[in-house]
Structure 1
Amino acid sequence: MKVYINEMEMHVEETTAYGLRKKFKEDADIVIVNGFPIKEDMIIKEEDRICFIKKGEIPKRNELEALMASRHTPKVHEALKKGRVAIAGAGGLGSNIAISLARVGVGHIKIMDFDVVEPSNLNRQQYYIKHIGMKKVDALKEILKEINPFIEVEAKDIKVEKENIEELFKDVDIVIEAFDNPVYKAILVGEVLTKFKETKVISGSGMAGFYSNNIIKTKKINNRLYMCGDDLHEAGLNEGLMAPRVAIVANHEANTALRLLLNETEV
């Protein structure tokens, strides 16, 4: 019977998960079958994916990626590793989006920004005190490679302008707009939809304050454009940006990218 053990194809005679554990990693504390940790033994079927993990043990590099992907639904990891996503802006939205996409294993992440990390960013952006003064794209690339060393991270210290959009985004499947400035949001979305015929665009807004989580939504505008946010609460006087709502909108965008890479086009 063909199964996958820690993502390695194996041909086995044993038909139970715990039987395989005894054979391949008897000291494993966690047994994951097809993305779910089991609490009692079960029958294994053809093509099942089983992962054995010993708590606290740092695996060899060639095992680490398999163990990181073990909680994904089978076949998801392979599809995401082929994905190419660009994130325009590495602030509150962009840094949160990038981390979520790195954790799920999107194979190529391109991040673009021209700003540096400064103290007020730390209230909602995924940086640390040690990053103050660094270029955001360099700091974020460092963080992403610590999270997932198996993905490609392309850091572009550049201001996205109408004139360079075609060159910057020509090699990606999805463009995620994560700007603060509404003018630049509109320019980027319009140019990508005009210049490319298949590239999907995800845009985020309406995340200020501490209003209800439940008014934040993802909307499908057309077959290539998705909008995430609450359509109401833009940043402004007496409407500050804080980590919880920024992260909620960011992860609406990240989850929309995830779904699109898996050919799930409805919201």
Structure 2
Amino acid sequence: MNKNPTNMLTQTQIMDALNRRHSPEKQRLLSEGHVAIAGLGGLGSNVACALARIGVGHLHLIDFDVVDITNLNRQQYFIGQLGMYKTDALKSLLEQINPYLDIRTDCIRVTRENLRELFADAPIVCEAFDDPVAKAMLVNGILEYFPEKKLVSATGMTGADSSNTITTRRVMKNFYLCGDAVSEPSYGNGLMAPRVAICAAHEANMITRLLLGKEDV
């Protein structure tokens, strides 16, 4: 048995497999898709992996941080990647899923000053920060500078509360919010892989719908 078939797969083989699963019409929209993901932690790393698996063709990964041991409880990284910049670590993982994607990385902290330049290209922006101040800055900046862009954000996903309290809401015409919008990290109620992944899946699914031209939640 071939122990490492990935290295032998051609782009045509991967596209044929995706077309069989999604249909050529839908896969064309996904392959042409361009999404910027701000924050590559529990939300962003899961969103990026989901989008890579369905063949979203253009991903812009943005984060300034490195992989830490405390990230391993919910983020898509491994012990061998400790100390790596998350942009590099995640890109290497996505290339193992689909080496033919166009993946751009910016290892930088998003600020009010560089926001317009960083997000000028992608028509869809995924906000995936874990800091409330950074979340508010990015959301407000995108809404102010790029009201035509689709923005998918998240808040409220801590602990082991019911999965059913995490939802996707359309807050404004181009602004979607995922999560329970209530829960916050506290002692014994921190961020855990299952519920964070559920919220990340909501973000990834909403982004997928937008790429396919479906704007309702």
TM-score, normalised by the number of residues in structure 1? 0.77
The aligned counterpart of 1:49 is none
The aligned counterpart of 2:128 is 178
Task: For 2:154 and 2:131, locate their aligned partners in 1 and report how far apart those are by CA, in whole Å.
Answer: 11
Return 5+ residue gaps in structure 1 as ranges. Answer: 1-55
Task: For 2:43 and 2:110, locate their aligned partners in 1 and report how far apart those are by CA, in whole Å.
Answer: 16
TM superposition shift of 1:77: 0.6
* In the alignment, structure 1 residue 123 sits paired with structure 2 residue 73: yes
Q: 1:232 to 1:171 in 2, by over 3 A?
A: same
The aligned counterpart of 1:101 is 51
Identity %: 49
Query: Which structure has the larger Rg?
Result: 1
Contact 1:69–1:105 at 8 Å: present in 2 too? no
The aligned counterpart of 1:232 is 182
Contact 2:167–2:202 at 8 Å: present in 1 too? yes
The aligned counterpart of 1:206 is 156
TM superposition shift of 1:60: 4.3
Runs (4+) of structure 1 exceeding 4 A deviation are: 56-60
TM-score, normalised by the number of residues in structure 2? 0.94
Task: Name the structure where helix makes up a greater proportion of residues.
Answer: 2
Q: How does 1:31-42 map to 2 (within 5 A)?
A: none
- Determine helix, strand or coil for the equivalent of 2:126: strand
* In the alignment, structure 1 residue 194 sits paired with structure 2 residue 144: yes
TM superposition shift of 1:238: 2.7
Task: For 1:57 and 1:67, locate their aligned partners in 2 and report how far apart those are by CA, in whole Å.
Answer: 18
1:20-56 alpha-carbon deviations (Å, 9 max, x no partner): xxxxxxxxxxxxxxxxxxxxxxxxxxxxxxxxxxxx9
TM superposition shift of 1:236: 2.5
Task: Name the structure where strand makes up a greater proportion of residues.
Answer: 1
Task: For 2:156 and 2:203, locate their aligned partners in 1 and report how far apart those are by CA, in whole Å.
Answer: 13
Return 5+ residue gaps in structure 2 as ranges. Answer: none
Task: For 2:79 and 2:15, locate their aligned partners in 1 and report how far apart those are by CA, in whole Å.
Answer: 29
How many residues matched? 213
- Determine helix, strand or coil for the equivalent of 1:123: coil
